[in-house]
Amino acid sequence: MSREHPTITLPPHGKSRDDVIAAMRKQRAKDVDWHAGQVFSLVFHAGDEAIELLQEAYTLFFSENGLNPTAFPSLRSFETNIIAMSAALLGSSGSVVGNMTSGGTESILMAMFTARQWARANRPHIITPEVVLPRSAHPAFEKAAHYFDMKLVHVSVGTDLCADVAAMRTAVTSQTIMVVGSAPSYPHGMVDPITEIAALAQEHNLLCHVDACVGGFMLPFVRRAGYTVPDFDFSVPGVTSISADLHKYGYAAKGASVVLYHNRELRRHQLFAATEWPGGIYASPTMTGTRPGGAIAAAWAIMNYLGEDGYTEIAANVMQAATAIKGGINAIDGLHVLGDPPMSLLAIGSDSLNIYEVGDEMGQRGWHLDRQQFPPTLHMTINYAHIDNVDRFLADLADSAEIVRKFSLRKTGNRVTVGAAKAATRMLPENVVSRLTGRAASLVGTGDSGGVPQRSAAMYGMMGTLPNRGDLKEIVLDLVESFTMPEDKK
């Protein structure tokens, strides 16, 4: 059998603490420098003081385990507080209950699972439960359907990039159990018409989940800061569950989200208990068993440290930056913001330039912008880490657009460039793109990886020419596998 990857074993003898830390610092030097405020979406940063507080709170409860609330009443108190504060913020009039989870994905998995269990109890005629949702909804719903054997019915968004409620209505069948809207959607930052989606749910006695993972701890403060925000929370009749991530605009440490339900009856379907285990009676409300106390403690700490005033001030600053960035993008010849996003997420598109080339140029200037598809855009999640970088960002973006404009004029005959401009492509973080390139190249037969373009725009163009999307999925799954294996030393 051929050796697929190098064998790595535990070191026979332990190393010194200094050596271990030094080795990790060396690795870390290769990571993106999020602290400089040039990375979007992956890190939410509310300033150094906030980070220090999070670290202190996390370390204080570093060893504690959220699995057993009777052993750690402190964690239980933090958690019930966090849930209550979140529910109040998101329009609860008192009946809302919920749980903390490790993140938005787990919150959505729980909401989907709960809907399935609710349907089993209340809609026994349903064989394969269906969930109707806009195409812009987060892939965590697909993951949930993948895990829990449910069917998703995706509906195209309207020209305004919001959920098309009339189309959603048409997609409802006798097997439908839930409808979904996002507040806002990740790709374009648009808030779906939650009031209409929830009314549709009520018409057909369906559940209605609002994915406020990225907006739940921002939109209420955007509104408080004086901006217009459409209704999206439990104050809207018909909304039955909400997911909201503390580790995004809640500025908590990673591993903190909430899933909330409009009442106890619905949440009951989520809970799990094993009563016959020799190890004792075991019960747990969410997917995880052992849960890091640090994530719970840090979330409680930041909520109390910032408070309503602090979050509102941050939101006001972020919105000022976001407004300037939106205006600045629209003022650059050839570039535009898609739709009219009410918050601080947006997509940059172009009708005349290869936007992925613009992304490459920005990458050379240190800005990490994720690529999106259908249509090709660059994604931004503007948060507190970025507020001092607005002018520099816009200047670099204008520069990048200008360079790409000249480049495109010179290269209009280049098939790869033309292909890239129209490509149906796949969103992947920039830093994984080059590894994908070699595999894609062999599939489309553009020859050995020596001829593979190093810049992502050409690579995305090539991905668009793959024979079919099934191949693409297999390539991506290969890549996912490869990430769990040690890299070959060259």
Ligand X SMILES: *Cc1c(COP(=O)(O)O)cnc(C)c1O
> Which residues lie near ligand X (CB under 6 A)?
103-105, 108, 138, 140, 182, 186, 211, 213-214, 245, 257
- Cβ closer to ligand X: 186 or 367? 186
Cα 8 to the chain's mean position, in Å? 33
Residue 356 to residues 37, 68, 215, 352, 438, Cα–Cα distance (Å): 21, 48, 27, 12, 18
**Which residue number is nearest to ligand X in terms of Cβ?**
104
Q: How far is the CB of 112 from ligand X (least distance, A)?
A: 12
Q: From the CB of 126, what's the least distance to ligand X, in Å? A: 25
**Count of Cβ atoms closer than 10 Å to residue 277 Cβ:** 8
As given in the structure block, the two tokens for residue 58 are: 């996390």
Nearer to ligand X, 196 or 245 (CB): 245
Is the four-CA dihedral 160, 163, 164, 167 of positive or negative sign? positive
Residue placing its CB nearer to ligand X in the complex, 245 or 357: 245
**What is the Cα–Cα distance from 193 to 9, expressed in whole angstroms?**
54
Given a contact cutoff of 8 angstroms between Cβ atoms, the answer to whether 256 and 291 are in contact is: no
* CA atoms of 410 and 193, how far apart (whole Å): 44
Q: What are the tokens at 475?
A: 């390539």
Closest separation in Å from C-beta 214 to ligand X: 3
Q: For residues 383 and 400, which CB has a smaller minimum distance to ligand X in the complex?
A: 383
Task: Name the percent of the chain in helix, strand, coil, to the closest 5.
Answer: 45, 15, 40
**Shortest Å distance, C-beta 422 to ligand X:** 28
- Which secondary-structure segment (H or E) carries 415? helix 415-422
Of 108 and 168, the one with the shorter C-beta distance to ligand X is 108
Instruction: State in angstroms the smallest separation of the CB of 57 from ligand X.
Output: 19
Q: Which amino acid is at 347?
A: A
Closest to ligand X by CB, 137 vs 362, is 137
Residue where the block lists tokens 């949440």:
267
Query: 89 or 353: whose CB is closer to ligand X?
Result: 89
CB of 209 to ligand X, least distance (A): 11
CB 244 to ligand X: min, Å:
10
